[in-house]
């Protein structure tokens, strides 16, 4: 009987020693309120919480800086972790809006106006229709909202 009590005591001590390791699992970012698809995440809409569930699946945002400025593609519920896969960069150009097309090469810069045929975030390679000529060209979305045209 005393052997069984000792074994139980040793097991209890081992579990207590592991408890702090389980508690330090990191943080997760959760919404403060329901966030709908297409909404941009700002600092006031999300907060970091300590992860206490050891069975929580990976793939969620861990720090606020990872989600601020992103747009959700799915409804996010308050207090639930935010899967990284449901976030995208905000659109720098939107389909149908007028954008500035820029071609630069060999000391020559040509600008024109165009209409994107699809939405695009900074760095995306998209197709744009030149408003004046109707020609469809491809280019890269720049951070100022213009499209740098690739030479063909």
pLDDT tens track for 84-101: 999 999 999 999 999 999
24-89 carries CATH number 3.90.1210.10: yes
At the second CATH level, the architecture of 99-149 is: Roll (2.30)
Could you tell me the residue ranges of all domains in the chain? 24-89, 99-149
Q: What is the dihedral of CA 8, 11, 13, 16, to 10 degrees?
A: -120
Q: What is the dihedral of CA 43, 46, 52, 57, to 10 degrees?
A: -110
Q: Measure the CA–CA gap between 29 and 41, rounded to whole angstroms.
A: 11
Averaged pLDDT score across all residues of the chain: 87
Express each pLDDT in 40-75 by its tens digit. Answer: 999 999 999 999 998 888 999 999 999 999 999 999
- For the entire predicted model, the pTM comes to 0.65
Contact (Cβ atoms closer than 8 angstroms) between residue 124 and residue 142: no
Q: Measure the CA–CA gap between 52 and 42, rounded to whole angstroms.
A: 25
């Amino acid at each position: 009987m005393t052997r069984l009590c000792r074994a139980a005591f040793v097991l209890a001590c081992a579990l207590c020693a592991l408890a702090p390791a389980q508690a330090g699992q990191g943080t997760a970012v959760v919404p403060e309120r329901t966030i709908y698809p297409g909404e941009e995440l700002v600092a006031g809409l999300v907060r970091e919480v300590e992860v206490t569930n050891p069975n929580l699946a990976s793939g969620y945002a861990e720090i606020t800086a990872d989600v601020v400025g992103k747009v959700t593609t799915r409804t996010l519920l308050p207090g639930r972790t935010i899967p990284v896969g449901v976030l995208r960069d905000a659109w720098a150009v939107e389909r149908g809006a007028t954008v500035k097309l820029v071609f630069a090469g060999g000391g020559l810069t040509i600008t024109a106006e165009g209409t994107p045929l699809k939405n695009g975030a900074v760095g995306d390679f998209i197709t744009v229709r030149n408003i004046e000529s109707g020609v469809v060209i491809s280019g890269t979305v720049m951070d100022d909202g213009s499209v740098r045209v690739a030479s063909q």
